[in-house]
A and B are shown apart, each in its own frame.
Chain A
Amino acid sequence: MTTPTAPDLKCSGVCKNFGPVQAVADISFEIPSGTFFSILGPSGCGKTTLMRMIAGFEEPSAGDIFIKGRSVLNVPPNRRNVKMVFQHLALFPMMNVFENIAYGLRCIGTDRDEIARKVQDVLNRVALPDVGEREIHQLSGGQKQRIAIARCMVLDPDVLLLDEPLGALDLKLREAMKIELKLLQNQFDTTFVYITHDQSEALVMSDRVAVMNDGRFEQIGTPQELYHRPQTAFVAGFVGDSNRWSGKVTGTRGAEVTLETEGGTVVRSRPGDGTKVATGDAVELFVRPEFIELVHRTPRQKRTGLSGKVDNLLFNGANSRALVRLATGDLVEVDVTLTGGTDDVKPGEEVSLSWSTKNAVCFPARAAS
């Protein structure tokens, strides 16, 4: 056995090239035991390639992958104790539920009584004790999901990989499965590596999230860190909703940056963690709609913040938004509470917007974009 402190999964300097295209570029990370780790990124960012390398279906072009402290570089997929839940689950339609789960145990030569016991045990744990004799097509979407997880968990893997398994489910079921997956992970106490392009899935379920873009990890952190302290413009824009403006720095004072957007709005903000901006730099500014305070403006009131006019209301219950057109022409999304009372903002109303400087984050604009 290896040392108990070895992380369940460790990648160091992993690269993957497909011809001239670099799908995964120099990725290093460690996942401690029992973590729910998500890799979040837009489609085509290389997250599936990374997962396939961990599972052994692709060989890294450079770098090394360690499972429980042991390199798996030349270990074929069927000898790695990493199991995978596929995007479309890939349950075997010609076998019933019991046979699907027993398949892996048969491959390692478990005897019959032991197989029956283990399969029943794992079915109990995913709360589907009576489906063993059913055919796969008789299961509902959520049940299939749980069987796919049970099929992997019965083998007691070091790491369970999940490749966007909720993508095919409808919205209601997806919400329910998010919670269920988190509970299952707690129950099995196994390291889950979850791949998704849906930021809400990643934020809700994960202990730690890695945001991936263009084959690189932009930032690894807890969901709160990613949301409140993004380190790159990509993370700020990709995780959660944000108002986003391009602008130019007009002045800096301590940790505070004054900038002017392309529309001409002058805003104070703070530079993102670990970034530096100087006067004259092109920057991108991010302000989340829920941090903007919207106040009705009366003619007598002293003018604070930015003034504008409500263009439109987007009603969505607790997540309602107001679209405010600033005097300079910039459009701002603001979270508002619409109670149906007389205090609600109405389209056409004059309002003023304000936010605390620490909630307005700016990053140097990328030369490429």
Chain B
Amino acid sequence: MVNQERRLLPGAGSVMKHRDARRLSLILLFMPLALWIVLLILLPHIGMGILSLREKIGPRQYEFGLANYIAFFQEPIYWHIMARTAVISLLVTVLALIVGFPVSYYIAKIAGPRTRGAMFMFCLIPLWVSDLIRAFGWILLLRETGVISGILQWTGLASAPVELLYNDAAVVVGLVYTVMLFMIVPLTSTLDGMDDAMIEAGYNLGGNGLTVLRRIIIPYAMPGIVSGSIIVFMLTAGSYLTPVLLGGKYSSWFTQTIYDQFITRYNWESGAAFGFLLLFFTSFVVWIGLKLSGQSLSSTVARS
């Protein structure tokens, strides 16, 4: 029967071959992504998940249980640090939005095409330098013998060297600077897609500048705002270098606690559990943010 059909349709064999080739090329193209997801995201997380659920009951003796998670909630210092990290991250996100929105608006709506490219470049250039170098840049500015302290003394505003490093403000400033671009890019692309006529219509129908901003521009830019905020919040809460370098050893950032568990105390089980707690917690904050702004993950992150 099959043979007969083959004979009846002379092109069938080559069609089949052609289809196989297409399927193969599709699989090959998809492979890097699949490997990346499975090997670098899925597998480590499964491993960490299993690790975090192992209770140490004696030297080299483990049992399945939730003790590592329970330890987190029983020790106030841990969840204090977590809450602190979350609050400062939210503050950084809000500041990045406040600073980034006018910049994005200028790039997308006011600047001419040439200025636009130049401004985008200026936002990008800091990214060419590593996080570490940028943090040291801030240290040069803020430390006791640094530039700002020097200027303050020279102008007579301060009589002795001023230490501006190793406090929360330094951490916030450094983080806002580091993550700014990730707020500007999605915001600019959203605002760029907005028809200028919509803003003009807002004025034409009787709105003043504030009304147009509040009722038209911000609601329109909401997907970009939310998507930028999610990225910035996640990056900030998960950052390690900037808080350590600008906040000092005791800046109490949650990633530092995780690092301590893994490296200093060599307690991988507890570190893995903390890692998951941070993931759950930040995901939870993002979820609340999405609910409050009435956006969905697909409408925001997929857009940018």
Contacts and interface: CB of A to CB of B under 8 A. Distances in A.
A181 B203 CA distance: 24
Interface in B184-208: 195, 197-198, 200-208
Interface in A54-105: 55-57, 76-79, 82-84, 86-88, 90, 92-95, 103-104
Centre residue among B201, B204, B216, B219 by max chain A CB count within 10 A: B204
A94 B220 contact: yes
Contacts of A151: 205
A84 B201 contact: yes
B222 interface: yes
Contacts, number: 63
A84 B204 contact: yes
Nearest to B216: A92
Contacts of A76: 203
A65 B206 CA distance: 19
Interface in B39-75: none
A152 interface: yes
Contact of A90 (B200, B206, B207, B208): B200
B167 interface: no
Contacts of A56: 203-204
B18 interface: no
A76 B203 CA distance: 9
Contacts of B145: none
B249 interface: no
Interface residues of A, number: 26
Nearest to A77: B203
A155 B206 contact: yes
B200 A104 contact: no
Contact of B207 (A88, A94, A107): A107
Contact of A104 (B197, B206, B219): B206
A76 B201 CA distance: 13
Nearest to B204: A84
A214 B201 CA distance: 27
Given A83-B204, A90-B201, 18 more contacts: A57-B200, A77-B203, A78-B204, A78-B205, A83-B205, A86-B201, A87-B197, A90-B198, A90-B200, A92-B198, A92-B202, A92-B216, A94-B222, A104-B205, A104-B207, A107-B206, A155-B205, A155-B206
Interface of B: 195, 197-198, 200-208, 211, 215-216, 219-220, 222
Interface of A: 55-57, 76-79, 82-84, 86-88, 90, 92-95, 103-104, 106-108, 151-152, 155
26 contacts: A55-B200, A56-B204, A77-B200, A77-B203, A77-B204, A78-B204, A78-B205, A78-B208, A79-B206, A82-B204, A83-B204, A84-B200, A84-B204, A88-B195, A88-B197, A92-B201, A92-B216, A103-B202, A103-B205, A103-B207, A104-B206, A106-B215, A107-B206, A107-B207, A108-B206, A155-B205
